[in-house]
Chain A
Amino acid sequence: MSAPTTSLIGELIGKSIPHESARLHVSGAARYIDDLPEAAGTLHAAAGLSTCARGRIRRLDLSAVRAYPGVRCVITAVDIPGENNCGPILHDDPIIAGDEIQFYGQVIFAIAADTRDAARQAVRLAKVEYDTETPILDMDAAIAAESWVLPPFAMQRGPVDAAFANAPHHLSGTAVVGGQEHFYLEGQISYALPKDDDSLHLLCSTQHPTEMQQLVSHALGWRAHQVSVEIRRMGGGFGGKESQSAQWACLASILAVNTGKPVKIRLDRDDDMIATGKRHGFQYAWQSAFDDSGRLLGLKLDMASNCGYSADLSGPVNDRTICHIDNAYYLDAVALNSLRCKTNTVSNTAFRGFGGPQGMFVIETVLDDIARHLGRDPLAVRQANFYDVVPGARSTTPYGMVVEDNVAPALVAELAASSDYAARRAAIAEFNASSPVIKRGIALTPVKFGISFNATHYNQAGALVHVYTDGTVLVSHGGTEMGQGLYTKIRQIVAHEFGLPLADVRLSSTDTSRVANTSATAASSGADLNGKAAQNACLNIKARLAAFVAELNNAAVDAGKVRFSNGRVQAGDAYDVPFAELVMAAYRARIQLWDAGFYRTPKIHFDPLTKFGRPFFYFAYGASCSEVAIDTLTGEYRVLRVDLLHDVGRSINPALDIGQIEGGFIQGMGWLTSEELWWKTDGAQAGRLMSHAPSTYKIPTASDLPEIFNVRLYDNANVEDSIHRSKAVGEPPFMLALSVFFALRDAVASALPAGTPVQLAAPATPEAVLRALTANQDKAP
């Protein structure tokens, strides 16, 4: 980890302060929901899952389930008192399937029992008969059947036909990229505690407490003020606990209200992987038109996404894909067709990057192919396509937003120099020329990622700051802590505002009864939105305190000159007291010492029908350079060296930001390499996910960390007025991993005759690499 170059503000902003729970994490003392002492009488829930991908339940015999010792309550769809839906946007996600089965692993009943073991044993005893139908299991089948969760969307910007007619070069191609399991280490869990006044408190490992509150209250036929949802920390989220926590929250709550007992549901890992949604897999077909330098003149792109059986967040995910097919490149003329396929698989959902990675994947593939076709360095082709640095003729995105803060060209140039890209590319070519079995490859790819929820109304946040009379501070806000360090950053922001040491500021758990109507902690926006809201609450309190100081000094002190620093409050030479002393005096003078803060992101607007507007407040940028080696006998490979340079604006906490960059990169590498979702395609178990546990689904381990891993922050203050001029960091680094995939493509290409198109599927498992190597080859050695 190299030293950050961003400038420091004060004592706390810009400092690499450890995660606020780090000591608790390492000592096992940090409590996750399943670690909390259980209330007396707690029951444990489990869900029965379908063993058919598509059809109707002919007979559901739960008598043996009910008779199992310890079982207290069994519910099916008819037992849901309110609305049987946990879909966040469209109401097409049953909490418990009725007669109609739409994927293998769908919840068909749920139970509560005295112990978790009893509940898990009992659900196995259901006898279910189905009238099965042929499931639609992949995008080709969905397209053939015109099976959509949302209507196809077509868009054209610029003179596409003319561009194709006049271009000197044309190419076409296809590509696929798989989905991805979140694999948060803490599985889905909800713990519903009924209260005495027709209300319920829900502890839920969720990124979206307010949505849980809404969906639970709808499921119960209650109103929102009857349900409160709380989360102190999650054991990872990555988008998988945005909407996907709702089904379990609803089941626990229904069972709790039904039995009058506290009910906890904690999914077994296999059930979690089978029954909760994942990243959308995509497939693409395109035609490109370009000039001799590789500059794109026109692009026609058809892309299809596997949304699974219901809409969930697939609409916004696909919108973000559309808004990221440009990545860092100006697209003069583009015709786009976006298909949202409905298949009989689990409903896919938010996952770090939220469709952005799938957009960038295809444009990088298009440019990579162009470079190989022209015999040019892929980096040169990428650079030829960048947006203008100073807004000009090549600055407007296909969705109508002008790129005003483009640092991609400078950032990429800096990384190309620091990673010694050109010399290493030459050294690799030399190595490959004399190495028939092992081939190396290198690639340098950029990232430009839009920051803000595409849906404008989500871009708001609230916070509640309490200053107690001893001068300590308690902060609540609408964001959730899933490991990213949001609470740590908020603590820094609040302590900085009041000029207090960190120890004087504490974060409370996130609770819908303290801060209402929260947005999901998603879209990388947690610190941007909640940081500003918390800061605004502090500013309100500080303004009152400053006015009080002025009043105390008979207006000899200007309220605007009151300073909060080093645990003291100062105004010129006349006034200098400890913060706690001022606070106590203010309390006695009946000054309000707590306040709420609110923030809404300025400047943004987006029309979801036309996909046009300024959806993003700003862009986050980055670039990565990866070197790989492949074994052409087996398709196995290793990532040998990675250099990352990433723009987080002025970092609030460089250590946390680098943690997001490194972790996002490795997670993205997993998506593009070893993490393969695999379903049975035929027979009675067609549609059954077989990669449903860590034994069969392989996320990266420590040995996959490249031997050389240089990670640096790019020196660049946000041009927009973000919190302390920082930039969002949760998602953008995920897409830095594209360089690994394109380095693998480069290595494969070096084993093929020059100019041969590389057909490498993602994830690039060893099998996929070997397939790409042997696609057009005699198999004999």
Chain B
Amino acid sequence: MSERPIQFYFRGAIHRIEGSAPTRTLLQYLREDLHQTGTKEGCAEGDCGACTVVIGELSGGDGEEMLQLRAVNACIQFLPAIDGKALFTVEDLASDGELHPVQQALVDRHGSQCGFCTPGFAMSLFALYENQPECPERDEIDHTLSGNLCRCTGYRPIVDATRDAYALPRRPLNRQPVIAALKALAALPPLDYQGNGQRSHSPRSLAELAALRVALPDARLVAGGTDVGLWVTKQGRDLGEIIHLGAVPELKTVSIGRERLEIGAGVTLTDAFAALTAFEPNWAELARRFASTPVKNAGTLGGNVANGSPIGDSMPALIALGARIVLQHGDSLRELPLEDFYIDYQKTALQRGEFVRALRLDAPAEALRRVFRSYKVAKRLDQDISAVCAGMAVHVDGDGIIRRARIAFGGMAATPKRAVNCELALLGRPWDLNTVRHAMQVLREDYRPLADVRASSEYRLNVAGNLLQRFWLETGSTGQTPARLSQLAPVQS
């Protein structure tokens, strides 16, 4: 690797960054260095969306489809993450004094009041507009806006404006110059960047990464930066030397077969959840409620898993499905059941020089019927961190007897953790109310949850048991299955 500036497509040309620290955020760079102040800072932690920008990169598609445009939070993106990509900010939307349809619709629908969040909304809607030629249903609009907070409007005019934007004459982005520029950027050597005394490497192959990791075992691995970004913006931490994982294509592959799903550690949460939902349709609800769209567009499944947070939402469900984690050191790979990866609070089995390569899931044995659910309980429907997150799978034989059970929870212990006693209480028993009642009691022995800002210990214990009850009501009960709140409509009078 040779040293070179960070380069990306911006305002119609290739833009270079030299000298800035590699942990300077894209938002700081835009606002303080380029004086492009349309993009706002609301929270500097990826939660409010005032800083939303759209990133373009080449994907596997054909023609214009090969340009993938996704909204991300500029406030927690480090500069090397933009290398080789295209950046669009709110200033890019209008052309020749004419507002973009999403902007015009926001004006027409009175979608701004104080206006501070508005550029972020415009960018999330711009990404939707580019990715979806037809106006989506309300739930997808909400999902698109799940990472944008507005404190003034109450959202109704923004949701209405989304629909109106599609009614205006269509004005798609001219993608050809962007694609051409991204192709040119792809030919650059891997990024080895130094700025303000700090060094960042962006290997472009798995072999390069593996070698670097062995050579620099103390360097900080950064993938989507949706957590590590906050270490800098909120804790003021010095991350030292950085290995940026975003340019390694082998980490971004998903292989899906009838028997096995393998997801590279660098696959974004957006893409990983699409694959997981295809593999197991009951992932859909978790995929919908996990973080926000911009966080899912930046964050990776490997990052969520490697981070090892007790409140990371992907792990309980992955553990319930028997996922295994693939770790790589140099040329050698090893594989662990995911639950064995977690040793203690913020402590994992990852060894020096090692990195997370992929997650593997196998299809269930055909002789058994597997039922699976994941439930997330939080104060807010969208973009909240779980009080309790459950992943539950039971495998039932032809006689209705539970032959395998994997029940795992987040938010209940210092790590994502299986409910071992509860599982034992299920095994070998019929999947019925009596078994569930007993398992609910036993479950209380599996955890000693904390009380914190998200929930009390007692609530977590009660809800964990009640979620097991809901699991049975939805998958084992022969009575009326209770609706999910998400499926309810108002009463008809």
Q: Does chain B have a CB within 8 A of A121? A: yes
Instruction: Verify A235–B493 contact, CB threshold 8 A.
Output: no
Instruction: Verify A25–B115 contact, CB threshold 8 A.
Output: yes
Determine the chain B residues whose CB is within 8 A of the CB of A138 once the complex forms. none
Which of A358-366, A596-604, A695-703 lies at the binding interface?
A695-703
Q: Does chain B have a CB within 8 A of A137? A: no
Chain B positions 298 through 337: 1 when the CB is less than 8 Å from some CB of chain A, otherwise 0:
0000000000000000000000000000000000000000
Query: How many angstroms from the CA of A499 to the CA of B478 in the assembled complex?
Result: 73
Contact of B39 among A1, A19, A28, A427 (CB under 8 A): A28
Q: B100-142: which residues lie under 8 A (CB-CB) from chain A?
A: 103-104, 106-108, 110-119, 122, 138-139, 141-142
Give the shortest distance, in Å, between B155 (CB) and chain A (any CB).
Answer: 4
Determine the chain A residues whose CB is within 8 A of the CB of B491 once the complex forms. 424, 427-428, 431, 440, 627
Instruction: Verify B158–A185 contact, CB threshold 8 A.
Output: no
Considering only CB atoms and an 8 Å cut-off, how many residues of chain A contact the other chain? 104
Q: By CB atoms of chain A within 10 A, which of B90, B113, B489 has the most?
A: B113
Instruction: Verify A701–B146 contact, CB threshold 8 A.
Output: yes
Instruction: Verify B112–A22 contact, CB threshold 8 A.
Output: yes
Check A19/B159 contact, CB under 8 A, given A633-B469, A694-B45.
Answer: no
How extensive is the interface on chain B, given as a class? 35 or more
Instruction: Verify A694–B490 contact, CB threshold 8 A.
Output: no
Q: How many A-B residue pairs have CB under 8 A?
A: 297
Which of A337-345, A482-490, A587-595 lies at the binding interface?
A482-490
Give the shortest distance, in Å, between B26 (CB) and chain A (any CB).
Answer: 15
Instruction: Verify B47–A701 contact, CB threshold 8 A.
Output: no
Determine the chain B residues whose CB is within 8 A of the CB of A431 once the complex forms. 491
Instruction: Verify A702–B141 contact, CB threshold 8 A.
Output: yes
Determine the chain A residues whose CB is within 8 A of the CB of B456 once the complex forms. 767
Instruction: Verify A640–B470 contact, CB threshold 8 A.
Output: no
Q: Does chain B have a CB within 8 A of A31? A: yes
Determine the chain B residues whose CB is within 8 A of the CB of A270 once the complex forms. 234
Instruction: Verify B381–A704 contact, CB threshold 8 A.
Output: yes
Contact of A638 among B118, B153, B485 (CB under 8 A): B485
Q: B448-493: which residues lie under 8 A (CB-CB) from chain A?
A: 452-456, 459, 462-463, 466-467, 469-470, 473, 482-486, 488-493
Determine the chain B residues whose CB is within 8 A of the CB of A690 once the complex forms. 452-453
Instruction: Verify A631–B110 contact, CB threshold 8 A.
Output: no
Determine the chain B residues whose CB is within 8 A of the CB of A277 once the complex forms. none
Instruction: Verify A694–B43 contact, CB threshold 8 A.
Output: yes
Which of B203-211, B241-249, B256-264, B382-390 lies at the binding interface?
B382-390
Instruction: Verify B40–A703 contact, CB threshold 8 A.
Output: no
Query: How many angstroms from the CA of A438 to the CA of B115 in the assembled complex?
Result: 38
Q: Does chain A have a CB within 8 A of B156? A: yes
Q: Does chain A have a CB within 8 A of B42? A: yes
Chain A positions 662 through 687: 1 when the CB is less than 8 Å from some CB of chain B, otherwise 0:
11111100000010101000000000
Instruction: Verify A26–B107 contact, CB threshold 8 A.
Output: yes
Instruction: Verify B44–A269 contact, CB threshold 8 A.
Output: yes
Determine the chain B residues whose CB is within 8 A of the CB of A691 once the complex forms. 453
Q: Does chain A have a CB within 8 A of B93? A: yes
Determine the chain B residues whose CB is within 8 A of the CB of A22 once the complex forms. 106-107, 110, 112, 115
Q: By CB atoms of chain A within 10 A, which of B50, B234, B381, B456 has the most?
A: B381
Give the shortest distance, in Å, between B36 (CB) and chain A (any CB).
Answer: 8
Give the shortest distance, in Å, between A321 (CB) and chain B (any CB).
Answer: 23
Check A703/B485 contact, CB under 8 A, given A183-B151, A633-B467, A770-B459.
Answer: no
Instruction: Verify A26–B488 contact, CB threshold 8 A.
Output: no
Instruction: Verify A767–B489 contact, CB threshold 8 A.
Output: no
Chain A residue nearest in CB terms to B50: A185
Query: How many angstroms from the CA of A633 to the CA of B236 in the assembled complex?
Result: 41
Q: By CB atoms of chain A within 10 A, which of B103, B118, B387 has the most?
A: B118
Give the shortest distance, in Å, between A122 (CB) and chain B (any CB).
Answer: 10
Instruction: Verify B437–A629 contact, CB threshold 8 A.
Output: no
Instruction: Verify A235–B463 contact, CB threshold 8 A.
Output: no
Check A659/B152 contact, CB under 8 A, given A18-B107, A771-B459.
Answer: yes
Q: Does chain A have a CB within 8 A of B359? A: no
Determine the chain B residues whose CB is within 8 A of the CB of A658 once the complex forms. 110
Q: Does chain B have a CB within 8 A of A184? A: yes
Q: Does chain B have a CB within 8 A of A509? A: no
Q: Does chain A have a CB within 8 A of B48? A: yes
Instruction: Verify B490–A186 contact, CB threshold 8 A.
Output: no
Q: By CB atoms of chain A within 10 A, which of B47, B158, B469, B492 has the most?
A: B47
Check A663/B154 contact, CB under 8 A, given A26-B122, A707-B138.
Answer: yes
Query: How many angstroms from the CA of A238 to the CA of B154 in the assembled complex?
Result: 14
Chain A positions 208 through 236: 1 when the CB is less than 8 Å from some CB of chain B, otherwise 0:
00000000000000000000000001111
Query: How many angstroms from the CA of A270 to the CA of B234 in the assembled complex?
Result: 8
Chain B positions 370 through 409: 1 when the CB is less than 8 Å from some CB of chain A, otherwise 0:
0000010111111111010000000000000000000000
Query: How many angstroms from the CA of A703 to the CA of B48 in the assembled complex?
Result: 14
Check A704/B90 contact, CB under 8 A, given A22-B110, A26-B107, A26-B112.
Answer: no
Give the shortest distance, in Å, between B447 (CB) and chain A (any CB).
Answer: 16
Give the shortest distance, in Å, between A438 (CB) and chain B (any CB).
Answer: 5
Determine the chain A residues whose CB is within 8 A of the CB of B368 once the complex forms. none
Query: How many angstroms from the CA of A71 to the CA of B275 in the assembled complex?
Result: 50
Give the shortest distance, in Å, between B409 (CB) and chain A (any CB).
Answer: 14
Q: Does chain B have a CB within 8 A of A396? A: no
Check A699/B151 contact, CB under 8 A, given A269-B44, A634-B377.
Answer: yes
Q: A674-730: which residues lie under 8 A (CB-CB) from chain B?
A: 674, 676, 678, 690-691, 693-696, 698-705, 707-709, 711
Query: How many angstroms from the CA of A711 to the CA of B384 in the assembled complex?
Result: 28
Query: How many angstroms from the CA of A420 to the CA of B491 in the assembled complex?
Result: 11
Chain A positions 1 through 30: 1 when the CB is less than 8 Å from some CB of chain B, otherwise 0:
100000000000000101101111111111
Contact of A656 among B40, B110, B378 (CB under 8 A): B110
Contact of A26 among B47, B103, B156, B493 (CB under 8 A): B103
Contact of A185 among B39, B48, B459 (CB under 8 A): B48
Instruction: Verify B116–A236 contact, CB threshold 8 A.
Output: yes
Q: Does chain B have a CB within 8 A of A120? A: yes
Q: Does chain B have a CB within 8 A of A293? A: no
Determine the chain B residues whose CB is within 8 A of the CB of A234 once the complex forms. 114
Q: Does chain B have a CB within 8 A of A458? A: no
Check A767/B114 contact, CB under 8 A, given A27-B90, A701-B145, A781-B440.
Answer: no
Query: How many angstroms from the CA of A435 to the CA of B50 in the assembled complex?
Result: 41
Check A268/B153 contact, CB under 8 A, given A234-B114, A438-B488, A767-B455.
Answer: no
Instruction: Verify A28–B42 contact, CB threshold 8 A.
Output: no
Instruction: Verify A695–B151 contact, CB threshold 8 A.
Output: no
Q: By CB atoms of chain B within 10 A, which of A634, A676, A696 has the most?
A: A634
Which of A32-40, A163-171, A303-311, A566-574 lies at the binding interface?
A32-40
Q: Does chain A have a CB within 8 A of B5? A: no
Q: A627-642: which residues lie under 8 A (CB-CB) from chain B?
A: 627, 629, 631, 633-638, 640-641
Check A186/B99 contact, CB under 8 A, given A435-B482, A701-B146.
Answer: no
Query: How many angstroms from the CA of A702 to the CA of B153 in the assembled complex?
Result: 10
Q: Does chain A have a CB within 8 A of B285? A: no
Q: Does chain B have a CB within 8 A of A774? A: yes
Instruction: Verify A674–B380 contact, CB threshold 8 A.
Output: yes
Query: How many angstroms from the CA of A631 to the CA of B381 in the assembled complex?
Result: 13
Q: Does chain A have a CB within 8 A of B150? A: yes
Determine the chain A residues whose CB is within 8 A of the CB of B111 once the complex forms. 26
Check A636/B149 contact, CB under 8 A, given A19-B110, A27-B91, A701-B383.
Answer: no
Query: How many angstroms from the CA of A271 to the CA of B327 in the assembled complex?
Result: 39
Q: Does chain B have a CB within 8 A of A780? A: yes
Chain A residue nearest in CB terms to B235: A124
Check A437/B473 contact, CB under 8 A, given A121-B236, A627-B490, A770-B459.
Answer: yes
Q: Does chain B have a CB within 8 A of A82? A: no
Determine the chain B residues whose CB is within 8 A of the CB of A694 once the complex forms. 42-43, 45, 47-48, 149
For the complex of A and B, 10 pairs with smallest distance between CB atoms: A28-B38, A483-B114, A235-B116, A25-B115, A666-B154, A437-B482, A28-B90, A483-B113, A694-B47, A35-B37
Can you pick out 17 interface pairs between chain A and chain B where the beta carbons lie within 8 Å of each other? A28-B37, A28-B90, A184-B116, A186-B42, A236-B114, A427-B491, A627-B490, A631-B484, A633-B466, A638-B485, A659-B152, A674-B379, A690-B453, A698-B384, A701-B380, A707-B490, A781-B469
